[in-house]
Amino acid sequence: MSLTAPQKTAFRMVGVAVTMGALAWASVPFYDWFCRVTGFGGVTQTAEAGSDVVLERTIKVRFDASLERDMPWGFKPMQREMELKIGETGLAFYEAWNPTDRPIAGTASYNVAPYAAGLFFSKIDCFCFTEQVLQPGERVTMPVTFYVDPEIVEDREAKFTRVITLSYTFHETELPEDVAALTPETSGSTENN
């Protein structure tokens, strides 16, 4: 069976559309993987434990907090900055509170600046790894344990870094089913009360 020119063109166009759709679908996980491997865009690394090496050189870490538009929580760092030795394990705290009359779920996105430091900023434990659910009026203190990898002093760009800013932004998410089932008026919306 031989195809006519319009049929060949139609098949090619379908092939192009399928290929473009597959590339679009794969781009988000690929970009996420790329950022985690390279620290691109200030994406931090994760670690199971602290560094085995601690240098005498110190670095200052600043802490920043923000909320996505319409996220009704309050959210702030408990300290503005700390200075620690490169490789030393640091422990910082953030505070979040729910001033509304309904339970609200949220997840935190994060990054560091300057971006070149992202590859060397390692988080051991962080509230951003899990969804947070705050009941009406609830206030929580959330820890983040981290260190700056000593390899930063060998990197062509990052070795000049003296201050790293760790930023978190909380986003409202849908309530988990078990919490939503207990809520008289299920509200996964981002409306302010």
CATH number for the domain spanning 122: value is 2.60.370.10
Q: Say whether pLDDT at 64 is over 90.
A: yes
Q: Are residues 108 and 135 in the same domain?
A: yes
Q: Are residues 166 and 101 in the same domain?
A: yes
Q: Are residues 33 and 93 in the same domain?
A: no
Q: Are residues 136 and 66 in the same domain?
A: yes
49: Cβ contacts below 8 Å, ≥ 6 apart: 124
Q: Are residues 143 and 158 in the same domain?
A: yes
Tokens encoding 1:
């069976």
pLDDT tier at 85, thresholds 50, 70, 90: very high
Determine the average pLDDT of the residues in 89-101. 96
Q: Using an 8 Å Cβ cutoff, are 60 and 93 in contact?
A: no
Domain that holds residue 65: 42-182
Determine the average pLDDT of the residues in 15-41. 53
With CA atoms as reference, report the closest residue to 59 among 125, 130, 158. Answer: 158
Letter for the amino acid at 118? G
Domain count, the chain: 2
Determine the average pLDDT of the residues in 34-59. 67
Q: Are residues 31 and 75 in the same domain?
A: no
> Which strands make up the sheet holding 90-97, listed edge to edge?
45-46, 121-126, 139-148, 90-97, 74-77
Model pTM score: 0.68
Q: Are residues 108 and 120 in the same domain?
A: yes
Q: Say whether pLDDT at 188 is over 50.
A: no
Q: Are residues 48 and 34 in the same domain?
A: no
Tokens encoding 77:
């760092």
d(CA 39, CA 188): 32
Q: Are residues 54 and 32 in the same domain?
A: no
The per-residue pLDDT for 14 is 76
Q: Using an 8 Å Cβ cutoff, are 167 and 111 in contact?
A: yes
Q: Mean pLDDT of all residues in the chain?
A: 81
The per-residue pLDDT for 11 is 72
Residues 116-172: pLDDT tens digits?
898 899 998 888 878 899 999 999 999 999 999 999 999 998 989 999 999 999 999
In a domain, 49, yes or no: yes
In a domain, 192, yes or no: no
With CA atoms as reference, report the closest residue to 98 among 167, 179, 177, 181. Answer: 179
Q: Say whether pLDDT at 53 is over 70.
A: yes
Of all residues in the chain, the percent with pLDDT exceeding 90 is: 50
